[in-house]
Structure 1
Amino acid sequence: MTATMIKEFRLPDLGEGLTESEILSWKVAVGDTVALNQVIAEVETAKAVVELPSPFAGTVAALHEEAGAVVEVGKPIVSFEVDDVGAAGSTGAGSGSEVSTSNGAAAAVPQATPAKREANLVGYGAVVEESGHPVRRHRTFDPVAEREAVQAPVRQPVQQPAPQTIQEPERPRSTPPVRKLARDLGIDLQLVKGTGPAGLITRSDVQGFAAGSHEQTEARAAAVPGGRETRTPIKGVRKFTAAAMVQSAFTAPHVTEFLTVDVTPTMELLERLKSSKAFAGYKLTPLTIAAKAVLIALRRNPTLNSRWDEASQEIVQFNYVNLGIAAATPRGLTVPNIKDADGMTLLELSAALSELTDTARSGKTSPSDLSGGTISITNIGVFGIDAGTPILNPGEAAIIALGAVRKAPWVHNDELAVRQVMSLSLSFDHRLVDGEQGSKFLAELGAILADPAMVITMV
């Protein structure tokens, strides 16, 4: 009879040193047979929603966390029952304890030289080099937990793994039916005292709170939608964005400059490009032209494409441009960036902007696309706003806000005329960018948008 073993899969670091993720949904259930790399869950990090692939081929033995739980990196989330093909032939690259069984009898796990994995998945343990030595990248979670994962004692086999109770100090302990009852009644479980074992909140606790005293009623009114207040947990993208903006606002000395430009020639160019066969099928907007103008002006003013490295006390100037585009999504503000945008043609930039926008709105932006930006654009004009003082994306020296394009009276050829105008707002880190450098960049950006033919004199 084929021997099997139980393998635990611990939540991996999904990139950029993130320390926790929320399990949005499970795509498998206990007893399901899964293949290697099959999507088993959808998790939300502080930056993006990520599909989590299985590191093993086998049968789901237990789900250690339920949907909605916020789990620390390195904690076990699912166990698999897999075929025991020997320590040198293990499938996948998960971390955790292993128990080898055959006909219900336990056997010690043999110690052997690590073998190459069949798949190299993000955050799934060590990659083994030709020398046979595993190479692990830096982890942010507790090293004690990782050591326990590698040196875990052999456990007795179980026919059906017992459910584990995970205590999370940030979340009241209760069961799914009780949480559903609380949601239906509009009750915040943070306000309810549990009378069950180890403080577990029971159905009677929720019902008692619902029919409770005046004090409870006042507390409930602050949590019930439609009441005096509505409370939303701060987590995911909004939590990450808030922390990043606070850090940026109180670390980098912001300076903001404004310039209003007659962009009538740019809008006329845009209409000509839309009717051109070369751009058929491409989505062209004022943002497309403005993004290209930013990249051109940046070549002549590279100081704005830099970073202040506090740890090493160095100024890092980038010789490439990863252009960030602020995107409002249902999950909050994100700033994905277009890698190496400075080497793209207008056609390529247009396609990249469309893809970036569609991906961000669907909530599928990957963590790698949200990191590594060097300068950003926020298009506040789509909301009908003329100007603002944008906050720098952490690690960047500048951000440009594009205002709405409006028809307005303007002096053109020494005569008053109705023209299409736009306000540009430039915020920059004054440690890196002097007033002269920032002003020169903004002036050249405005010159390109006021007369696209000026590009000939700049490249």
Structure 2
Amino acid sequence: MGEHVIKLPDVGEGVAEAELVEWHVKIGDLVREDALLAAVMTDKATVEIPSPVDGEIIWLGAEIGDVVAVGSPIIRIRTGGEADAQPEPQLDTARTPTPSPSSQGGGKPISISAETVPVKTEPQVTSAPPSPSPLWGGVRGGGKTTLSGAPRAEGEKPIASPAVRLRARDAGVDLRQVPGSGPAGRITHDDLDTFLARGPQQARAATELARNITVEEIKIVGLRRRIAEKMALAKSRIPHITYVEEIDVTALEELRAALNKSKRPEQAKLTLLPFLMRAMVKAIHDQPNVNALFDDEAGIIHQYGGVHVGIAAQTPGGLMVPVVRHAEARDLWDCAAEVNRLAEAAKAGTASREELSGSTITITSLGAMGGVVTTPVINHPEVAIVGVNKIMMRPVWDGSQFIPRKMMNLSSSFDHRVVDGWDAAVFIQRIKTLLETPAMIFVEG
């Protein structure tokens, strides 16, 4: 038998460490070559680590949420071969990775199949079984358990297998009310049968209007931790000023519908965002100070000529900001196609580090759920973010009567150290004019 040590690979240029965000295996699992073992994250890019060999997982060197240095051992796999078997490392409670011996098993990997996978069995107990003892106020004996009294202390979480939990859920039973006869109070199928045998009335009574005293601890790891750190940095270092303006998008929506109706099959469907991006490009031409990054430690503003628009996108893992580079050089259809491509890559988890960095100004939109007003948080170290709220039909006074118009608010935030309130208002008013008279978006100059 041999042993193969897997170390955290170099996951990117200049990256010295990565956060472990997911284990695909556990100790004792048998894996084939190329099977996924773990996923690590750095700078919002997730990298999956495959197995280079067939074998059995005998050691995991980190927990989810741990930050691991490149080159550190993270997994040990027992492989087949003629190399001398190496002892498993003795780990402390902190699960600190220990250096692997220099000699590695060089034998031929074992072949794992449905016929050769060993079946784990419970250890055989040779000593005499302990005498029956009370458990949860009941007495165990003769293969039958009599349960009485309070099942567990207040706040204690019930222990049960997924199968038992599924049965309990289907039966409408709160497992907190079910006494367990297994080790450490584990609830078995027999315990659930005993509870249900009391009668449906008592079983339902235990769950109706019962106090929920559970507290679930959720460790913040991976992308959620990156988002938390980014938001805390932005709010602690940037004095935000938020400016909200109402925009009549009736004409814009009519133009958008007409363009979508006549578009070519290969062209992307137009949403509001490409129009907003083109309006922002024209407004930035007049006020380049909002298209900038502020290095507050060095006291330097980096004002960009190119407009690299970050598009805040919600993904299954959390908020990501893919970047449409050089929006000033893209027409309406090109902007739409690039937004669609980047959004799909972000949701699928295939966006590269380059596609998720380098923005100079950001758009955030919640689509139809955008609310009436929001207070967007600036994407540090940028100095401006434009927030899109939902479009609603509202009555608008035209001087003689109320007429129905499609109205939308823009809720935008600015770094008040760099952008004055007046400049923020001028910038948004310029965007308002362009969106309310959309033909001006296509006029050069």
Q: TM-score range by the shorter chain?
A: 0.5 to 0.7
Trace 1:265-414 onto structure 2 (pairs within 5 A).
Answer: 265-278=251-264, 281-412=267-398
1:365 Cα deviation after fit: 3.7
Residue 102 of structure 2 aligns with which residue?
Answer: 154
SS of residue matched to 2:396: strand
Counterpart contact for 2:241–2:415, Cα < 8 Å: yes
Distance 1:292 1:184 in 2: 57
Distance 1:341 1:66, change over 3 A: farther
Q: Using the alignment, how far apart are the partners of 1:332 and 1:226 within structure 2?
A: 28
Structure 1 counterpart of 2:206: none
Determine if the alignment matches structure 1 residue 50 to structure 2 residue 46: yes
CA 105–410 in structure 1, closer or farther in 2 if over 3 Å, else same = closer
SS at match of 2:7: strand
CA spacing shift, 1:364–1:412, aligned 2, 3 Å: farther
Name the larger-Rg structure. Answer: 2
Report the CA distance between 1:12 and its aligned residue. Answer: 3.9
Contact 1:402 1:425 (8 Å CA) reproduced = yes
Q: Give me the whole-angstrom Cα distance separating, in 1, the residues matched to 2:35 and 2:277.
A: 36
What is the distance in 2 between the residues matched to 1:426 and 1:419?
22
- 1:40 aligned partner: 36
Q: Deviations over 1:146-174 (max 9, x none)?
A: xx98xx8633758799xxxxxxxxxxxxx
Distance 1:156 1:363 in 2: 34
The CA RMSD over aligned residues, in Å, is: 4.3
SS of match in other structure, 1:443: helix
- Which residue in the other structure is 1:76 paired with? 73
- TM-score, normalization by structure 1: 0.63
- Whole-angstrom distance in 2 between the partners of 1:420 and 1:412: 14
CA distance in 1, matches of 2:226, 2:9: 19
> Which AA in structure 1 matches 2:102?
V
CA distance in 1, matches of 2:354, 2:212: 39
What is the alpha-carbon distance in structure 2 between the residues aligned to residue 180 and residue 14 of structure 1? 42
Given that 2:20 and 2:39 are in contact with CA atoms closer than 8 Å, whether structure 1 keeps it comes out as yes
In 1, the alpha carbon distance for the partners of 2:45 and 2:62 equals 14
Summarize the Cα distance change of 1:383–1:63 in structure 2 as closer, same or farther, 3 Å threshold. farther
Within 2, Cα distance between the matches of 1:70 and 1:160?
34
Alpha-carbon deviation of 1:395?
1.4
Question: How many equivalent pairs are there?
Answer: 348
Query: For residues 374 and 179 of structure 1, do their structure 2 counterparts lie closer, same or farther at Cα, with a shift above 3 Å needed?
Result: farther
Deviation at 1:291, TM superposition (A): 2.5
Q: Percent of aligned positions with the same letter in both sequences? A: 26
2:413 pairs with one of 427, 439, 443:
427
Q: Compute the displacement of 1:378 (Å).
A: 1.1
Query: Are 2:11 and 2:47, in contact at CA under 8 Å, matched by a contact in 1?
Result: no
Shift in alpha-carbon separation, 1:429–1:227, aligned structure 2, 3 A: same
The amino acid of 2:8's aligned partner reads R
Q: In the alignment, is the contact (CA less than 8 A) between 2:6 and 2:73 conserved in 1?
A: yes
Aligned residue for 2:280, secondary structure, equals helix
CA displacement, residues 426-450 of structure 1 (integer Å, 9 cap, x when unaligned)? 1011122122322221111111110
Which range moved further: 43-52 or 307-316? Answer: 43-52
Name the aligned partner's letter for residue 303 of structure 1: N
1:244–1:394 Cα contact (<8 Å) kept: yes
Deviation at 1:381? 4.3
Q: Deviations over 1:120-160 (max 9, x none)?
A: xxxxxxxxxxxxxxxxxxxxxxxxx9xx98xx863375879
Instruction: Tell me the alpha carbon deviations over residues 215-256 of structure 1, each in whole angstroms, 9 at most, x when there is no partner.
Output: xxxxxxxxx996554443322222221221111111011011
Structure 2: state its 5+ residue gaps: 86-96, 110-157, 167-181, 192-209
Compared CA separation, residues 456 and 370, structure 1 to 2 (3 A): closer
Cα distance, 1:373 vs. partner? Answer: 2.0
Q: Give the corresponding residue for 1:22.
A: 21
Residue of structure 2 aligned with 1:9, choices 7, 10, 20 = 7
Is 1:253 the counterpart of 2:251? The answer is no
Amino acid at match of 1:76: P
Structure 1 spans left out of the alignment, 5+ residues: 83-101, 107-144, 162-177, 187-202, 212-223
Deviation at 1:344, TM superposition (A): 1.9
Counterparts of 1:448-459 in structure 2 under 5 Å?
448-455=434-441, 459=445
Decide whether aligned partners of structure 1 residues 394 and 183 sit closer, same or farther in structure 2, where only a CA change above 3 A counts.
Answer: farther
Equivalent residue, structure 2, for 1:141: none
Asked if the contact 1:58–1:81 (Cα under 8 Å) also holds between the matched residues in 2, the reply is no
For 2:29 and 2:310, how far apart are their aligned partners in 1? 41
How big is each residue's C-alpha offset from its partner over 1:1-33, in whole Å with a ceiling of 9 and x where there is no partner?
xxx995643254457666412224259x98766
**TM-score, normalised to structure 2's length?**
0.64
Q: CA deviation at 1:274?
A: 0.7
Matched, 1:65 2:36: no
